[in-house]
Each structure stands twice: as C-alpha cells, then as structure tokens.
C-alpha cells in the first residue's frame, strides 16, 4: 500500500509540473517574442570596421613564409613554409617621434592630474556620473580641466614640484620634467594562461595541467596582469650603441626637437612599444565611450612575425624585397631604402642615420619603409625552430618573459633592417632578434589592428538573400 500511495503522489507531482511548464510556455508566447521563429537578436546595428587613421588595409592571403632565395649566413632560421594570414590594418609608416610624444605627454598630464586631484578633487577628478548617479571608486581623471603648469597658486606649484628635476640636478636653471617619473600603469589579460586553464596567480606554466577542470571555477582576475613601465625613450642609446662615434647631437635633440617630429622614434624597448599599443587602444575607446551606438574597436598591438612579412611582401610572392627585386636600386639608379649600401658610405642612399618616414616609395599595399630606416619590433618571441612548430594559420610564438627569466627567453623578433644594416637584413624573409628590455637607436615599431570579419567585401548586402 505505501508503494501505491507513493506512486500516486509522484504522478500528481509530475502532472503539476507539466501543467506549470505548459502555462509558462503559453505566457511566454504572449510576450514580445515575434513570430516564434529563430531570427537572432533584433535591432542590432550592422558593424563595418572603420579604416583607422594613418593605417592601411592588408588583405587576407597565403604566402610562402621564409627564405625564397639563398640563405646567406646559412642560419636555417627561416625555412620556407606556406602559411595563411587573416586581414588586418597596419600603420602606414613607423611610429614617429611626434606620435610617441603624444603618449609621453598623456602620461605626464595624467600624473599631474592625479597629483592635483588630491588637492582639488572637484576640478581634476570625476567621482560620479551626473546623468545616472553612478559613483566611481577610484574616480576617473577629469581631462576637461586645463592644467596650469605656471599657476600663481602656491599649493598648485607645490603639488607639481615633485614632477620636476630637483634643483641639484638642473643646469642653466632649466626647470624640466623629470622623465624618470613618467610611469604608465596598465593591465592586460593573459589569454595563454586562461586557455591552459592555469589557475595560478602568476600564470606559471608549471602550474598548468588543469585542462579538464570546468570553466568558471575561479575568479578570472587571476589572469589579469599588471605592468608598470617608464615610457620615456632611452635617448642615450645613440651613444651607448656606438661608443666611438659623435652622436651627441642625436642624444640631445632627436626625440624632442620639432625638426625630428616625423622621424621614426627609436630608443623604445619592446615593453614600451607594447605599452604604447595598449594606451592607443584605451585612447580610442575612451573617445567612443560617450558616443551613442559606438562599439569598442579591436585592440591595437604589435604585429606577429607572420603578419609583418606578409605585409612587407606587398602581395609579391617569392621576391626578396618589398619592392620586388633582386636589386636595391630602381631603373634610375636611386636606392629604394635607407640602409648601409656601401662600406662606410651611409649617405649613398640619401641619409646618414634615420630619415623622415615615408621618404622612399611604398610597397603595393601602401606601406612605407618596410625595409630600412629602422628595424621593427614584432610581438613574436624568437626561437630558432619556431617555423617548424608554429601553426600554418596566423603563425606565431609568444612567451611573456618575466624579469627573472634567463636572457634567451627575453628575445623578440625584429624585422626589416635599419639605416646601419647591409642589404641582407632588408630582405623580407630575414629574421633576427633583440632582447625585450633593451633599446637601440636603430629599432622602432608600428602597430596593427585586427580586421573584424573575413575581408572588406564580406558584407550581408553581397551575400545571399538570407540576411535581407
């Protein structure tokens, strides 16, 4: 008998659940659900990636990455391999002194606003959204308030005094910003650690091996990394790199003087270049934040080695130089890049050291100085055998080296050759490296941005009627 009662109770419970489910279904059908068909989320604005200012579009494509002619030093570091690279945007020229100076000035002004925010929070800080009443903790910097560097208020002058060189370090009584204090703090998500489901606080690969652990078991903040880095270029690199050479004028004037505004920035290490890309993303997204209907952009970043070579080739398969080849002169006998064409004759190509960006003709993608002028950082870590184990789709090899890591793990690939290199290093397939924490007077960089989608012509209007 107890079993019979239990059976009847279970049947009644099931009946109630079925009725309740049906009622929910009916009530849901009376709501704003359209026709009940699978149509996707309504009222979503079509998004087409805008052309970023100062960048050119590099299309999707496949090419033979690596040497297409003789391997002069027989280094066997770049064995030929067919790869595919997705579409992206790339800076038309290397980042110039003036563009990088915008970054330096932003860091300088943000520090000043932080100091003045402690003195006058109502003027230099934004603690509340006046429209929604939302409070910000910590508050945002107020960039609308003009900085008064020469203020008559003593408390303002005292607050800003710590940004300047101390009096015992000044010469000719010049009141100058202490560039040693220009630190930029930024955050990024370590996607490699997240993909490994590495739940260690430091993202140590030794702590990985948790691939079967369910997602969502940990706060994702364990993957957020914090970096603090001084952003001012190493202007002394001109002397440090070439001791027995008179490069004092470049040290004293190259970065900040207006005569060099459109010359490529140098003395920037890999970490500073990476920080610049993150700041550039934040700068653009901040301007879009307050605009109705605007979406955040894809991140600016350093190019991968595969992207850089694909862009440098300009669609010319198997040629040694961005302009084709095999010669470094055009049909008029003029050199096509800024490099060291003859023994000791740096001026034969029109420049002794760096020259103004865009001085020589672009390649077929519209990119300037993909050979010569300055070598360029890539995001790729250097490994002699990386061509062999990297994937053939968007090939890349990354390693987030720590300060405690040995020097061999801090090597980053540089490409393109520079004003001080012979023609071999100008070849699109030649790869070399430099350490991520070093700065050189012949290494600069440029940024890329992912194209979101397949290609520019990949629009619903060009597809079938299914999207209409």
Structural domain including 433 reads: 60-96+245-468
Q: Are residues 360 and 416 in the same domain?
A: yes
Helix (H) or strand (E) holding 435: strand 432-435
Whether 212 has a pLDDT exceeding 60, the answer reads no
Residue 6 banded pLDDT, cuts 50, 70, 90: very low
What is the distance between the alpha carbons of residues 338 and 370, in angstroms, rounded to a whole number? 10
Across 135-160, average pLDDT: 92
Whether residues 257 and 380 share a domain: the answer is yes
Strands 88-91 and 183-189 come out as unpaired
* Cα within 13 Å of Cα(208), Cβ side: 12
What would the mean pLDDT of 39-59 be, rounded to a whole number?
86
For 330-384, what is each residue's pLDDT tens digit?
999 999 999 999 888 999 999 999 999 999 999 999 999 999 999 999 999 999 9
pLDDT digits (tens, 9 = 90+) for 175-203: 999 999 999 999 988 888 777 765 555 54
Q: What is the CA radius of gyration of the chain?
A: 28
Note whether residue 313 is domain-resident. Answer: yes
DSSP secondary structure letter of residue 425: G
Does residue 42 belong to any structural domain of this protein? Answer: no
92 and 124 part of one domain: no
Residues 288 and 427 in one domain: yes
Checking if the pLDDT of 22 tops 60, the result is no
Same domain for 203 and 146:
no
**Residue 158 in tokens:** 């005292």
302 assigned to some structural domain: yes
Torsions phi, psi for 184 (to 5 deg): -115, 125
Closest CA to 298 of 87, 116, 442: 87
Its pTM surpasses 0.85: yes
Please report, for the domain that includes residue 335, its CATH number. Answer: 3.90.1580.10
- Separation between Cα atoms, residue 372 and residue 391, nearest integer Å: 28
160 and 187 share one domain: no
- Claim to verify: residue 211 and residue 272 sit in the same structural domain: no
How many CA atoms does the CB half-sphere of 387 hold within 13 Å? 19
Least confident piece of the model among 1-15, 63-77, 359-373, 447-461:
1-15
Q: Residue 362: inside a domain, yes or no?
A: yes
The bridge status of strand 375-381 relative to strand 411-415 is antiparallel
The token pair that represents 138 in the structure block = 């910590």
């Amino acid at each position: 008998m107890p079993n019979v009662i239990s059976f009847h109770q279970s049947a009644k419970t099931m009946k109630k659940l079925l009725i309740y489910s049906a009622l929910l279904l009916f009530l849901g059908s009376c709501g704003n659900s359209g026709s009940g068909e699978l149509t996707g989320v309504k009222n979503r604005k079509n998004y087409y990636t805008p052309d970023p200012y100062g960048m050119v579009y590099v299309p999707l494509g496949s090419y033979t990455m690596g040497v297409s002619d003789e391997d002069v030093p027989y280094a066997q570091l770049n064995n030929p391999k067919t790869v595919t690279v997705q579409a992206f945007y790339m800076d038309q020229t290397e980042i110039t002194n003036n563009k990088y100076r915008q970054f330096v000035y932003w860091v300088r002004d943000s520090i000043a606003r932080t100091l003045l925010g402690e003195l006058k929070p109502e003027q230099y800080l934004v603690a509340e959204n006046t429209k929604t009443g939302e409070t910000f903790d910590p508050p945002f910097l107020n960039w609308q308030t003009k900085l008064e560097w020469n203020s008559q208020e003593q408390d303002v002058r005292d607050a800003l005094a710590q940004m300047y060189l101390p009096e015992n370090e000044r010469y000719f009584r010049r009141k100058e910003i202490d560039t040693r204090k220009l630190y930029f703090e930024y955050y990024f998500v370590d996607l490699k650690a997240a993909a490994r489901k590495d739940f260690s606080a430091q993202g140590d690969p030794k702590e990985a091996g948790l691939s079967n652990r369910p997602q969502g078991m940990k706060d994702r903040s364990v993957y957020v990394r914090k970096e603090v880095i001084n952003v001012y270029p190493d202007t002394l690199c001109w002397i440090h790199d070439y001791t027995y050479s008179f490069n004092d004028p470049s040290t004293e004037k190259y970065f900040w003087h207006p005569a060099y505004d459109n010359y490529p920035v140098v003395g920037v290490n890999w970490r500073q270049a990476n920080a610049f890309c993150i700041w550039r993303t934040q700068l653009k997204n901040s301007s879009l934040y307050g605009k109705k209907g605007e979406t955040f952009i894809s991140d600016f970043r350093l190019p991968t080695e595969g992207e850089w070579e694909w862009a440098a080739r300009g669609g010319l398969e198997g040629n040694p130089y961005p302009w084709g080849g095999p010669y470094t002169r055009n049909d008029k006998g003029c050199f096509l890049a800024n490099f060291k064409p003859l023994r000791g004759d740096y001026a034969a190509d029109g420049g002794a050291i760096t020259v103004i960006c865009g001085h020589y003709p672009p390649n077929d993608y519209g990119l300037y100085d993909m050979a010569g002028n300055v070598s360029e950082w890539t995001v790729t870590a250097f490994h002699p055998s990386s061509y062999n184990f990297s994937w053939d789709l968007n090939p890349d090899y990354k390693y987030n080296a720590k300060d405690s890591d040995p020097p061999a793990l801090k090597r980053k690939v540089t490409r393109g050759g520079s004003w001080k290199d012979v023609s071999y290093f100008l070849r699109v397939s030649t790869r070399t490296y430099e350490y991520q924490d070093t700065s050189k007077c012949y290494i600069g960089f440029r940024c890329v941005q992912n194209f979101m989608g397949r290609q520019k012509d990949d629009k619903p209007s060009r597809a079938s009627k299914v999207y209409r």
